[in-house]
């Protein structure tokens, strides 16, 4: 960083560049003068014309200008809409008119994207298996259905494949209490009331064991 002498006022100023010629005040004044001269030259070159659309007088640099700024915006917009209308094409699925930049209408495109994101072509496809909120493994049995029972629990399917349809009021119990262990020897059909009672007894035993441990800690 050095010093330079301002060509406008003659004072010394700090200069980061060797090409600096003016101080800050003189630089701003020179820039303002250049802008004023530019606008004066533009006004001098402009011609007084009449808009062919609204009839108002306006000034333009070109002698062949047809519209004022407001009418020019409207005319360009209308021309763009007419060009777009002439170049519209048909949806490749349903045949409806669509813009030239797309292939499908909005409804067909939504169905297409929905199909592309579902089933075996989905990036999140797991072979038709999923884990529900309660921890049971679910198997996709009706992929064509959009609503209803598309999935069924795997432990029920395994038991029914070996023993037939599950009776009404019965549920499948995991003997080792591991919800994703769906081996046939680990599954047992029992009435819902009996199943709830057995799980209640198991819960009571767990709570009693926890109480004994707490009493032992308090005794220590």
Question: Is the pLDDT at 56 greater than 70, yes or no?
Answer: yes
Question: Is the pLDDT at 41 greater than 70, yes or no?
Answer: yes
Better-predicted residue by pLDDT, 105 or 209: 105
pLDDT at 45: 60
Give the pTM.
0.42
pLDDT at 158: 93
Are the C-beta atoms of residues 72 and 56 closer than 8 Å to each other?
Answer: no
Any residues with CB less than 8 A from the CB of 180 and at least 6 apart, and which?
Answer: 131, 135, 136, 137
Question: Is the pLDDT at 61 greater than 80, yes or no?
Answer: no
Please choose, from the candidates 172, 162, 163, 160, the residue with its C-alpha nearest in 3D space to the C-alpha of residue 198: 172
pLDDT at 76: 93
pLDDT in tens, 137-180: 888 888 777 666 788 899 999 999 999 999 888 989 888 888 88
pLDDT at 112: 84
Question: Is the pLDDT at 44 greater than 70, yes or no?
Answer: no
Please choose, from the candidates 202, 154, 157, the residue with its C-alpha nearest in 3D space to the C-alpha of residue 180: 154
User: How far, rounded to the nearest angstrom, does the alpha carbon of residue 68 sit from its chain's CA centroid?
Assistant: 42
Are the C-beta atoms of residues 158 and 167 closer than 8 Å to each other?
Answer: no
pLDDT at 155: 92
Architecture per CATH, 119-219: Alpha-Beta Complex (3.90)
pLDDT at 187: 92
Percent of the chain residues past pLDDT 70, beyond the cut: 90
Residue with tokens 């029972």: 149
Domain boundaries, the chain: 1-45, 119-219
Any residues with CB less than 8 A from the CB of 10 and at least 6 apart, and which?
Answer: none
Backbone angles phi, psi at 131, to 5 degrees: -115, 120
| DSSP, residue by residue, 115-182 | HHTSGGGSTT--TTEEE-TTS-EEEE--TT-SSS--EEEHHHHHHHHHH-SPPTTEEEEETT--TT--
Are the C-beta atoms of residues 173 and 187 closer than 8 Å to each other?
Answer: yes
Percent of the chain residues past pLDDT 90, beyond the cut: 20
pLDDT at 77: 93
pLDDT in tens, 12-32: 888 888 888 888 889 899 999
pLDDT in tens, 179-220: 889 999 999 898 888 877 777 666 777 778 888 888 888 886
Q: How much is the average pLDDT of 56-72? A: 86
* Rg value, the chain, Cα: 41
d(CA 111, CA 163): 40
C-beta atoms surrounding 23 within 10 Å:
21
Q: Give Cα separations from 102 to 54, 98, 180 (angstroms).
A: 36, 7, 47
């Amino acid at each position: 960083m050095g010093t330079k002498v301002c060509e406008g006022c003659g004072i010394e100023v700090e200069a980061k560049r060797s090409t600096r010629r003016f101080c800050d005040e003189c630089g701003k004044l020179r820039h303002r003068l250049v802008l004023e001269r530019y606008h004066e030259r533009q006004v001098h070159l402009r011609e007084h014309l009449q808009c062919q659309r609204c009839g108002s007088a306006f000034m333009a640099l070109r002698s062949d200008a047809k519209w004022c700024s407001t009418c020019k915006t409207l005319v360009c917009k209308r021309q763009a809409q007419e060009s777009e209308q002439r170049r519209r094409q048909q949806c490749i699925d349903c045949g409806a008119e669509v813009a030239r930049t797309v292939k499908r209408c909005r409804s067909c495109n939504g169905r297409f994207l929905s199909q592309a994101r579902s089933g075996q072509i989905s990036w999140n496809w797991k072979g038709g298996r999923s884990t529900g909120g309660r921890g049971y493994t679910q198997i996709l049995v009706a992929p064509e259905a959009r609503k209803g029972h598309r999935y069924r629990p795997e432990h029920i399917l395994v038991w029914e494949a070996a023993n037939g349809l599950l009776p009404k009021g019965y549920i499948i119990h995991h003997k080792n209490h591991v919800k994703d262990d769906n081996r046939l020897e680990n599954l047992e059909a029992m009435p819902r009331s009996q199943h709830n009672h057995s799980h209640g007894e198991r819960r009571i035993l767990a709570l009693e064991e926890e109480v004994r441990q707490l009493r032992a800690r308090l005794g220590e």
